[in-house]
């Protein structure tokens, strides 16, 4: 095994799970996330020599983000509108945590609601919230991935959380009042 490959595997591949989680939240389907991650890993390997003592996790996630944006721009240029993907079963929902099917159905409904509310957030808020809560990056790593000042990251995260919380409460209160 050559030196570049062994260094790449040691420094970058441990962050593959975080990169996939981020790609999954950026992409519209699991297949698109797989393609996105594959492209990002190829680009990361090709440009690995450019990583000089930086944070490999933030570097890899930046590449995932850039690959997603490039693919999105290309799709818009082609005026291609993908058909909505069929509901993919959530792997966590497939594992029975309780024998009560009603509780499982309520959990799936809450997950769908959360996904819908997250997708309704502005892209810059959704991205910051996803990087913090789903990918579990710290503020400094988010700032490196998004190329924003850390203060902007912190304020966007606070606004995203507040907006999500407010929408969640509106949805829940609307359901308890019998509203659709």
Predicted confidence (pLDDT) per residue in 55-111, tens digit: 899 899 999 999 988 887 777 666 655 555 555 555 454 455 555 667 667 777 888
- The reported pLDDT for the residue numbered 73 is 77
Q: What is the pLDDT of residue 83?
A: 55
Select from 22, 18, 47, 23 the least CA-distant residue to 36.
23
| pLDDT tens-digit series, residues 33-57 | 899 999 999 999 998 887 777 789 9
Please state the rounded mean pLDDT for residues 143-164.
Answer: 94
Q: What pLDDT band is residue 178 in, cutting at 50, 70 and 90?
A: low
| pLDDT score, position 177 | 54
Shared domain check, 111 and 77: no
pLDDT at 104: 67
Number of structural domains (the chain) is 2
What local confidence, expressed as pLDDT, does residue 175 receive?
63
| Helices within the chain (DSSP H only) | 3-11, 16-26, 30-46, 56-77, 91-94, 101-120, 123-129, 139-146, 150-176
Domain containing 51 — which CATH number?
Answer: 1.10.1740.10
pLDDT at 2 over 70: yes
- Return the percentage of the chain with pLDDT > 90, whole number: 36
Residues 41 and 69 in one domain: yes
CA dist 40 and 136 (Å) reads 19
Q: Which domain holds residue 167?
A: 91-180
Same domain, 134 and 172: yes
Q: Are residues 73 and 100 in the same domain?
A: no
Q: Mean pLDDT over residues 20-44, rounded? A: 89
Decide which of 125 and 102 is more confident. 125
Q: Which of the listed residues 35, 54, 84 is the one where a domain comes to its end?
A: 84
Radius of gyration of the chain (CA): 19
How confident is the model at residue 142, as a pLDDT? 93
Across the chain, mean pLDDT equals 82
Cα–Cα dist 95/97, whole Å? 6
Q: Indicate whether 4 and 49 sit together in one domain.
A: yes
Q: Which pLDDT band holds residue 132 (cuts at 50, 70, 90)? A: very high
Does 5 share its domain with 64?
yes
| Statement to judge: residues 74 and 59 lie in one domain | yes
């Amino acid at each position: 095994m050559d030196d570049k490959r062994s260094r790449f595997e040691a420094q970058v591949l441990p962050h593959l799970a975080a990169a996939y989680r981020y790609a999954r939240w950026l992409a519209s389907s699991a297949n698109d996330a797989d393609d996105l991650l594959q492209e990002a890993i190829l680009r990361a390997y090709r440009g690995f020599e450019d990583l000089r003592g930086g944070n490999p996790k933030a570097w890899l996630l930046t590449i995932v983000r850039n690959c997603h944006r490039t693919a999105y721009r290309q799709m818009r240029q082609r005026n291609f509108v993908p058909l909505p993907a069929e509901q993919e079963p959530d792997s966590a929902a497939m594992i029975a945590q309780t024998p009560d099917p009603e509780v499982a159905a309520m959990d799936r409904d809450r997950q769908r609601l959360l996904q819908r509310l997250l997708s309704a957030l502005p892209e810059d808020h959704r991205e910051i919230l996803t990087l913090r809560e789903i990918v579990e990056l710290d503020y400094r790593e988010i700032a490196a991935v998004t190329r924003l000042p850390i203060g902007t990251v912190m304020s966007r995260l606070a606004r995203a959380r507040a907006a999500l919380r407010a929408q969640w409460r509106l949805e829940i209160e609307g359901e308890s009042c019998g509203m659709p």
